[in-house]
Structure 1
């Protein structure tokens, strides 16, 4: 990782010259329309969370009424955050989301630390858990015994899922977007089915869950915060479209439109789905269930209850596809800025996809499938990720002061970023007081990136032998993936 070596500059092969001569620029293409943007946001947000986490929200909030309020507030918080990111995304039209915004506002080191945490923990762990969840639901009907599916079978199917989706994303942006559209529609159909069944039961049953909706509501700030964590987990992904801004057609219009359509749509669906759950299941029954949607289906669909695990598997599959698609762009932009090895900033000359970055993300995700403690790592990273989102919002306020005349197609009222920062502070301080060990581990993960930055980025006079090895490896990867460096304006 050095700016002086050909590795950082993205060594060109002869293919690049021929491509340039042909008049076809080697760069990421703007192939994503408004409907694709909506599908990415909705598809990434609606994963397995809404089918499982209602139990967590109810457990911590203590009552039906308060849990529904938590779901509504979580949607509003996500919408406020997304609106703030709409200003950042239309002011800084670069892929990479937080990495691009933090770098623009505060410089290379904070941006690199975000990239480092995303690279080593957040993205590969999230992909691994998503793939394992998919495998668990697919194999559940095959291994109906109490012990559940064998661990080896789950890991193999999860690895196959990650590999197939990586291949599709390498092959064609439109194919990956089509998969996202199809599976987003599938998961919405599943939730609409839950909502319709719930409405029917609302008129048939005695509506026990709604008779005293606020009974046993918690008054503990710590439990209230944990309820928000469970709810916000199901909304995670509201900022993922910002990772692919450079591939979005007319981002100044389509980015805010996609946000304005997606977040309210998801919030309404989540609220109605929870009402449907409570129409069929009592709070006690929901707390006794490990998978709310599956228990719901067993109570309402009878012999057809197997449909729900299939829908949950499809939902997780679509969410994983969106995560793989967007996260590869983060690695690509990081390498283009000189913070990762240059071969990750190359693009396949035939498909115009960041194939090396996709392959790298695939390998990292497969590595985490071998770990047995990835859930603890995700807990550490969740604290850190909230911190970096807060830093991005601070960057919005900072750039309002340092660059007041910069073009801002969207300019939100200062109330929105300040409100969102207060929420982030609440979500950071409460876990720091309740679980200092996990938060401390998250800080260690961040701090471990500092020596990597010093050696990999700041140290420019690296040994010639090392640079030679890096250059040869870069050329080798370009030949394997038939890829070249992106053709920039200065080229």
Structure 2
């Protein structure tokens, strides 16, 4: 009878029924998940039984939509110019797009092994934290929290705002003014924050819809491009490798890989994915294959209608393409890019907030960011923190320049995470691996990351130096604030007071582990 009564209790606790005392546990949630995966129920769906924790509500389709929604942002609509400018010919451009897809697939498959072996939210942060230790994990989180994540999200919402205003400012010499662009970007940020705060299901539904819309827009480009080819517009594909230059290969690869950025997104929210042992690898394979095919065919369509000179002269390739090919339906392209970036903003908000949630759970960020709303089971403080930083960056100067500072950091941390996979193969060869890649794939990926780091440093040494300098600002923060177990009593009391106040305001408590 007792068990029956327990089963029938309400799935939501009232705020008075939970302990709101701030927690400062030094134990690692990531380590617990790694050492006791079976005890955490990763093979079965997580039912809402009243426990205050993130729930497993994301299906395979949701996982694919999240990855596609984040990967297909603004990149494919603007990056073709950078790829062509780097290698100088149509044929080499197509090769670069295919190579970037293969490289992304290799990295994503390596992350699939890590994600099923360490099914903890946080992605590369979680893997580096477990494999290399507390300090290196914090440094990865620091650079993401300070600039990389909110800066990237600010770029997305600003792109959404710019394309939303594009129909009102159709001429290149008269771009949308800054003030309405920033206001629309802030509005977009607030909207996606509210959606993610209210319901993970709403967020995943929005991701599903926008992913379908953006793929649909690219299909329109592809079909119209095939029509152009069928009517004899093949001039740009004759002697397609003529004029190829390898001096700008690094720039071309960075531009192409920027469009594939986000292949690691699902790993960041793996604790909310149903049956991650099977669905994580499946979602990754489906996503990368789909995106690679769509990207290559989209570029074929671009060159079917635009000469290399026309493409290089355009700052918004999709808009230029629409104006030339779609005629009176050219308005579809700005709308498609707006929908694409809105979906990307939603996905980035979902994953960025989970990264900060995971970092706070490891005591690398304030306790408040690791807390969950007792009714919605969403990390409300982390969402608001992400939103606030994004709004600040949206109002700042040239956010796009900030992103250039982190190419070095991005490939360094990705390479370190996959190198850690090789280390775990050596250190724990008998450990169960629900998904396992061939040993050659992580080796190829690590070598490719080294190549990208070297090429990026040679191409932009100042940007690399600035990125490293910003990352190093986390060193004193770690040793003077994060690492000490005993902090001054006045700081502890002040932190507890502020945390409790915000807990009552937002109805949030620490995750029940």
TM-score range, shorter chain: over 0.9
Q: Is 1:172 matched up with 2:199?
A: yes
CA contact (8 A) 1:338 1:457 kept: yes
Aligned to 1:118: 144
| Partner residue of 1:443 out of 458, 465, 468 | 468
Q: Is 1:71 matched up with 2:94?
A: no
Secondary structure of the 1:259 match is: helix
Secondary structure of the 2:262 match is: coil
Q: Is 1:149 matched up with 2:149?
A: no
Aligned to 2:31: none
Please report how far the alpha carbon of residue 376 of structure 1 lies from its aligned counterpart in structure 2 after TM superposition. Answer: 2.1
Q: Is 1:331 matched up with 2:356?
A: yes
Secondary structure of the 2:509 match is: strand
Aligned to 1:390: 415
CA contact (8 A) 1:52 1:293 kept: yes
Q: Which residues of 2 match residues 65-464 of structure 1 at below 5 A?
A: 65-144=91-170, 146-220=173-247, 223-464=248-489
CA distance in 1, matches of 2:505, 2:344: 29
CA contact (8 A) 1:45 1:234 kept: yes
Q: Is 1:8 matched up with 2:33?
A: no
CA contact (8 A) 1:74 1:235 kept: yes
Secondary structure of the 2:58 match is: coil
CA distance in 1, matches of 2:414, 2:246: 28
Aligned to 1:57: 83
CA distance in 1, matches of 2:107, 2:323: 37
Aligned residue pairs total: 471
CA distance in 2, matches of 1:177, 1:268: 24
Please report how far the alpha carbon of residue 433 of structure 1 lies from its aligned counterpart in structure 2 after TM superposition. Answer: 2.0
| Partner residue of 1:38 out of 47, 53, 64 | 64
Cα shift readout 1:401-455 (whole Å, capped 9, x = no counterpart): 1222222111211100010011101110012123211111111111111111112
Secondary structure of the 1:8 match is: coil
What runs of 5+ residues in structure 2 fail to find an aligned partner? 1-20, 27-47
Cα shift readout 1:63-95 (whole Å, capped 9, x = no counterpart): 101100000000000000000000000000101
CA distance in 2, matches of 1:194, 1:66: 21
Please report how far the alpha carbon of residue 23 of structure 1 lies from its aligned counterpart in structure 2 after TM superposition. Answer: 5.2
CA distance in 2, matches of 1:141, 1:447: 43
Please report how far the alpha carbon of residue 137 of structure 1 lies from its aligned counterpart in structure 2 after TM superposition. Answer: 0.4
Q: Which has the higher contact order (CA 8 A, sep 6+)?
A: 1
CA contact (8 A) 1:7 1:343 kept: no
CA distance in 2, matches of 1:402, 1:188: 42
CA contact (8 A) 1:47 1:319 kept: yes
Aligned to 2:17: none
Quick one: structure 1 residues 206 and 344, their matched pair in 2 at CA, closer, same or farther if it must change by over 3 Å? closer
CA contact (8 A) 2:73 2:259 kept: yes
CA distance in 2, matches of 1:462, 1:28: 30
CA distance in 1, matches of 2:423, 2:340: 38
Please report how far the alpha carbon of residue 173 of structure 1 lies from its aligned counterpart in structure 2 after TM superposition. Answer: 0.2
Cα shift readout 1:359-402 (whole Å, capped 9, x = no counterpart): 00000111111211322221111221111111101111111112
Q: Could you tell me the TM-score, scaled by structure 2's length?
A: 0.90
CA contact (8 A) 1:198 1:276 kept: yes
Quick one: structure 1 residues 219 and 422, their matched pair in 2 at CA, closer, same or farther if it must change by over 3 Å? same
CA distance in 1, matches of 2:299, 2:166: 24
Secondary structure of the 2:405 match is: helix
Secondary structure of the 1:474 match is: helix
Cα shift readout 1:339-371 (whole Å, capped 9, x = no counterpart): 111111110111100011000000011111121
CA contact (8 A) 2:54 2:377 kept: yes
Quick one: structure 1 residues 23 and 132, their matched pair in 2 at CA, closer, same or farther if it must change by over 3 Å? closer
Q: Is 1:471 matched up with 2:496?
A: yes
Please report how far the alpha carbon of residue 288 of structure 1 lies from its aligned counterpart in structure 2 after TM superposition. Answer: 1.2
CA distance in 2, matches of 1:411, 1:434: 35
Please report how far the alpha carbon of residue 466 of structure 1 lies from its aligned counterpart in structure 2 after TM superposition. Answer: 1.1
Bigger mean CA offset, 268-277 vs 457-466: 457-466
Bigger mean CA offset, 331-340 vs 398-407: 398-407
Aligned to 2:36: none
Q: Could you tell me the TM-score, scaled by structure 1's length?
A: 0.94
| Partner residue of 2:52 out of 26, 40, 44 | 26
Please report how far the alpha carbon of residue 144 of structure 1 lies from its aligned counterpart in structure 2 after TM superposition. Answer: 3.6
CA distance in 1, matches of 2:212, 2:289: 16
Bigger mean CA offset, 376-385 vs 209-218: 376-385
Please report how far the alpha carbon of residue 35 of structure 1 lies from its aligned counterpart in structure 2 after TM superposition. Answer: 0.2
CA distance in 2, matches of 1:309, 1:320: 16
Secondary structure of the 1:347 match is: strand
CA contact (8 A) 2:113 2:435 kept: yes
Please report how far the alpha carbon of residue 30 of structure 1 lies from its aligned counterpart in structure 2 after TM superposition. Answer: 0.2
CA distance in 2, matches of 1:434, 1:149: 31
Aligned CA RMSD, in angstroms, stands at 1.3
